[in-house]
Amino acid sequence: MPNHFCKRPLRRVQIFVLPPIVDFASFPPPTAPKPLVLPLSTGMDSMQVVLLAGGLGTRLQEETTARPKPMVEIGGRPILWHIMKSFARYGHDDFIVACGYMGDFIKKYFLDQYNLSGDLKIDFGRDMMQRSEADVESWSVNLVDTGLHTMTGGRLLRLQDKLRRETFMLTYGDGVSDVNINELLAFHRQQGRLATVTAVRPPARFGGLIMNGDIVEHFTEKPVAGEGWINGGFLVFEPEIFDYLKSDQCSLEANGLEQVAAAGQLAAFRHDGFWQCMDTLRDKHYLQRLWDSGEAPWINAAEEHHSRLRVMPVRRSAA
């Protein structure tokens, strides 16, 4: 009987198993992702900070004959260090220091902080040195000579090529405050102006009395003046500020800020908290007493607030 079946080689057959039908309509609608909120300590949000540290400090000659005013110490640290610490706590640790009078003193301080901090092991036979357990700040500090007699605007002008073309901050090397840098930058962004100055009320020169009839209920050594606002430093600038600065003899305040204000491009961030400059020996002693008490406002403020906020470059409105 003839065989009607041919022998053919077997072929591999892939078998696909289809999943059950899914009714996507029964699924709840997807929720929108929460916006990413980054702390100011992230590098991408860090702004450059200019510190004006080149003045002669003539009103504090008891100290400034031996050192520049920004290096006068409070609690064993230069007041410049205290100011930098205030910014660094909010994530802004890229500093440009405008040096002038006794600028080498400032450079030597930071060199010593870098080279001499921690333990050192020196092997004279093999000409080697090893450092360990170094306790140094993770800051970037650019120390720039801006001239002995250069004015404040001229010092900033000399730093133009050191600054990225974006928002930056500036303050003076002799004043401390508990200003919230997060809130300052947010205010600058909201206002959309070329510059923002922190406005403060100047401390009164003499002690104040709070009285009930003829009885003194409270005595304050440094009451705040009831009227007037002054430039307290802690400024925020857009790069166009350099359009208002022309030479070494240009004053940032009398020439730059006055013209910016006349153009309607200067905003004022009112700060009712602590602010104190160190103009005289009396100011230095006052700051030292605050430090010794363990209640220095400029140190405690950032630790108390530390709010989370991402600060983006601003777009300025028309004057």
pLDDT digits over 210-259, tens only? 677 766 666 766 555 555 889 999 999 999 999 999 999 999 999 999 99
pLDDT digits over 45-76, tens only? 689 999 999 998 888 888 888 899 999 999 99
Per the model's pLDDT, the better-predicted residue between 247 and 121 turns out to be 247
301 in Cβ contact with 273 (< 8 Å):
yes
The pLDDT value given to residue 300: 73
- Give 318's pLDDT tier (boundaries 50, 70, 90): very low
Residues 287, 276: Cα–Cα separation, whole Å? 8
Residues 176, 283: Cα–Cα separation, whole Å? 11
pLDDT digits over 277-299, tens only? 999 999 999 999 999 999 899 98
Q: What is the value of pTM for the model shown?
A: 0.76
Q: How many CA atoms lie within 13 A of 38 on its CB side?
A: 11
Q: What are phi and psi of 199, to 5 degrees?
A: -95, 130
The pLDDT value given to residue 137: 86
Q: Which domains does the chain have, with CATH numbers?
A: 45-197+229-305 (3.90.550.10)
